């Protein structure tokens, strides 16, 4: 399947998943329509076939280049077009990156994800990132970067430096995409994902819940991910962190049970992928997070900071893991 076909998932007729690896939006919508307990039971069954149900992978994020981004993503604090109070900063010096990575490893993270507020890296931007990947890898951590759209040859350079994962989210449903982002298209994003895959880097791609997409939009977003020729190895499901000064501040909040349903649908449709309970945990109760783990989430962002917003402290997560009998993966 090429990227153009991937982006027209919405228009596929309903198809039962049995014996067919493609998921229609209707089939995912039917999962959402199940009684909550039935959906969670199914998600647990799938989860237990493929993973230790009590193991949670931990990734730590670091913003290596904050603010001043040319893009207009309606949820993001880092767009230069918004007044969200996040200022443009230069690329972080490598020593600081390595010190952060070492501290993350010592606290139990197994992957270190470095994020840059770029539309995509210019050639001169890539070299310092390649050095960061090499140095972080030497610490025994898995490496991940999220740098925006890649040009020809850049994915190969990242692969040669030892990059394990590239994060590049599809963010929302095909229909909702142009309502949230005007400076690039979903097709642009899918093209970068193809480059990453072709270079032999593992794909981390997911999206955000709570951007006016509705339940059908969430089903369409999950279908888009699940129907990729090879689904992403890592699927971050973010709950929108509403940021003052962005167009999506004040968006209608999603029923937390519908957030859990989205996690369950990701688990069922992408059985062997890690599903990450991502942004938004700082506003979630322990009980809601436990339901997300029950629904098949088996990865988190770990450490007190995401990119520009807060995440629960590692101590709070350690306490939650202990209360739930969870352990690191
Ligand atoms: N500029 C690169 C890009 O757009 O891919 C990398 C950084 S960007 C901040 C990475 C991802 O963070 C976005 O695709 C989006 O899914 C997520 N994100 C950004 N702001 C968010 C917010 N306020 N709430 C939830 N997720 C957010
Ligand atoms: C992803 O899906 N979520 C992370 C990571 N990939 C790069 C980013 C979340 C950002 C939340 C808002 C902020 O801290 O600026
Ligand atoms: Fe820029 Fe990425 Fe934020 Fe969009 S999500 S404004 S591309 S940093």
Percent of residues, the chain, with pLDDT higher than 90: 94
* Ligand 3 atom nearest to 181, measured from its CA: 4
Give residue 54 CA to ligand 1 midpoint distance, Å. 28
**Does the pLDDT at position 16 exceed 80?**
no
Select from 67, 73, 125, 206 the residue to mutate for testing ligand 3; criterion: most ligand atoms less than 8 Å from CB.
73
pLDDT at 68: 97
Give ligand 3 pocket residues (Cβ under 6 A).
69, 71, 73, 76, 78-79, 117, 119, 148
pLDDT classification of 21: cutoffs 50, 70, 90: confident
Q: Which of 105, 99, 101 is nearest to 114 (CA)?
A: 101
The protein residue whose alpha carbon is closest to atom 2 in ligand 2 is: 236
Question: Is the confidence at residue 176, as pLDDT, over 70?
Answer: yes
- Classify 328 as helix, strand or coil: strand
64 close to ligand 1 (CB < 6 Angstrom): no
Please state the length of the chain.
329
> What pTM, to 2 d.p., does this model score?
0.94
With b for 16 or more beta-carbon neighbours within 10 A and e for fewer, the 287-314 pattern comes to ebbbbbbbbbbbbbbbbeebbbeebbeb
Ligand 2 binding pocket (C-beta < 6 A) is: 61, 77, 115, 146, 167, 169, 206, 236, 238, 241, 278-279, 306-309
% pLDDT > 70, the chain: 94
Would you say residue 19 has pLDDT above 70? no
Backbone angles phi, psi at 289, to 5 degrees: -65, -40
What residues are annotated to the active site?
A: 69, 73, 76, 113, 144, 204, 276
pLDDT on residue 15 = 43
What does residue 152 show for φ and ψ, rounded to 5 degrees?
Answer: -50, 135
Q: Is 24 exposed, middle or buried (0-12, 13-18, 19+ CB in 10 A)?
A: buried
Name the one residue in this structure whose structure tokens are 């200022």. Answer: 87
- The model's pLDDT over 252-272, given as tens digits with 9 standing for 90+, comes to 999 999 999 999 999 999 999
Q: How far is the CA of 95 from the centre of ligand 2 (A)?
A: 23
For ligand 1, whether the C-beta of 75 sits within 6 Å is yes
DSSP 235-299: EEEEEP---TTSTTTTPPPPPHHHHHHHHHHHHHHSTTSEEEE-TTGGGS-HHHHHHHHHTT--E
pLDDT digits (tens, 9 = 90+) for 227-258: 999 999 999 999 999 999 999 999 999 999 99
Task: Please choose from 65, 78, 147, 188 the residue to mutate so as to test ligand 3's pocket, defined by most ligand atoms within 8 A of CB.
Answer: 78
How high does pLDDT run on average in the chain?
A: 94
Q: Is 26 left (phi over 0), alpha (psi -120 to 50) or beta?
A: alpha
Count of other CB atoms within 10 angstroms of residue 202: 17
pLDDT at 103: 98
Q: Number of C-alpha atoms within 13 angstroms, CB side, residue 58?
A: 24
Sign of CA dihedral 178, 211, 58, 94: positive
Q: Which segments within 102-245 are labelled E, that is strand?
A: 111-116, 142-146, 165-167, 202-204, 207-209, 234-239
């Amino acid at each position: 399947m090429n990227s153009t076909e991937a982006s027209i998932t919405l228009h596929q007729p309903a198809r039962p998943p049995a014996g067919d690896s493609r998921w229609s939006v209707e089939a995912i919508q039917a999962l959402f329509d199940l009684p909550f307990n039935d959906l969670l039971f199914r998600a647990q069954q799938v989860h237990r076939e493929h993973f230790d149900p009590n193991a949670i992978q931990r990734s730590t994020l670091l913003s290596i280049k904050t603010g001043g981004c040319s893009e207009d993503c309606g949820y993001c604090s880092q767009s230069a077009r918004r007044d969200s109070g996040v200022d443009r900063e230069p690329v972080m010096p490598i020593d600081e990156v390595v010190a952060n990575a070492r501290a993350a490893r010592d606290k139990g993270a197994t992957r270190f994800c470095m994020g840059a507020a770029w539309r995509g890296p210019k050639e001169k931007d890539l070299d310092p990132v390649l050095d960061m990947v090499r140095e972080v890898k030497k610490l025994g951590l898995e490496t991940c970067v999220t740098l925006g759209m890649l040009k020809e040859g850049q994915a190969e350079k990242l692969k040669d430096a030892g990059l394990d994962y590239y994060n590049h989210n599809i963010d929302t449903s095909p229909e909702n995409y142009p309502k949230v982002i005007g400076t690039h298209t979903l097709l642009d994003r899918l093209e970068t994902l193809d480059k990453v895959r072709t270079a032999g880097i593992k794909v981390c791609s997911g999206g955000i819940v709570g951007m006016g997409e509705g339940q059908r939009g969430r089903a369409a977003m999950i279908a888009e991910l699940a129907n990729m020729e090879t689904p992403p190895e890592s699927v971050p499901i973010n709950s929108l962190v509403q940021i003052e000064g962005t167009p999506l501040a004040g968006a209608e909040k999603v029923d937390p049970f519908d957030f859990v349903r989205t996690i369950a649908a990701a688990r069922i449709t992408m059985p062997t992928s890690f599903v990450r309970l991502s942004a938004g945990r700082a506003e979630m109760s322990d009980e809601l997070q436990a339901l997300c783990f029950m629904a098949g989430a088996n990865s988190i962002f770990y450490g007190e900071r995401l990119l520009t917003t807060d995440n629960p402290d590692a101590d709070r997560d350690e306490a939650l893991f202990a209360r739930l009998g969870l352990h690191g993966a």
